[in-house]
Amino acid sequence: MCPGRPAGWVVRVAGHLDDKWAGWLGGWALERHADGTTTLSSDRADQAGLHALLASLRDLNATLLEVARRQAGPT
């Protein structure tokens, strides 16, 4: 990846999503937190993949809390 280009995305939603949704959500990694939120992350998702995830979360009626871009590390 080029410096300054996104290396992926991190999305945080309210509630705990079950692991069964990982495949339906395009293979994003799910991590549940003690504060009752779930973080979804992908190092491979481009902007189209992000939009697909957001549409799926909308269909699940999930409450979106945060969307953040991961920066590529030094090469």
pLDDT tens by residue, 47-68: 899 999 999 999 999 999 999 9
Instruction: Kindly list the domain boundaries of the chain, sorted by start residue.
Output: 6-70
What angle is formed at CA 21 by the lines to CA 18 and CA 23, rounded to 5 degrees? 140
Average pLDDT over residues 27-36: 95
Q: Decide yes or no: CATH 3.30.70 for domain 6-70.
A: yes
pLDDT of 6 reads: 53
